[in-house]
Amino acid sequence: MSIDPHVYDLIDAPARPSPQPAPIQVGPPALMPMDLPVWNAAADAQSGYAAALQKPWPGCVAVYKSPQTTGYQLRAIAGAPATLGVTRDALAAGPEG
């Protein structure tokens, strides 16, 4: 068996740029309460929906609730980022029912 030593020579290729590190988000994530109907009739009247976004996504976002400025209780954990945006044009009325 014979091995050609030229197989292990360096090739002449342009250097690849190193990837830039992701920017670090400082501060709280964007959390938007959503005014949607409750899917389950047996759900608590205080339940609701929220969308959370932060770049880069930290893996999950905890949502706490408190009627005062102390005594926060965990309400939910957002496990995936939402897509948040702004509607630029007015939306036409949809079908009823």
* Short-list 47, 52, 48, 46, CA closest to 32: 52
pLDDT tens figures, 30-69: 999 888 887 777 777 677 888 999 888 888 999 998 889 9
81, 83, 85, 89: CA torsion to nearest 10: -160
What pTM value is reported for the model? 0.57
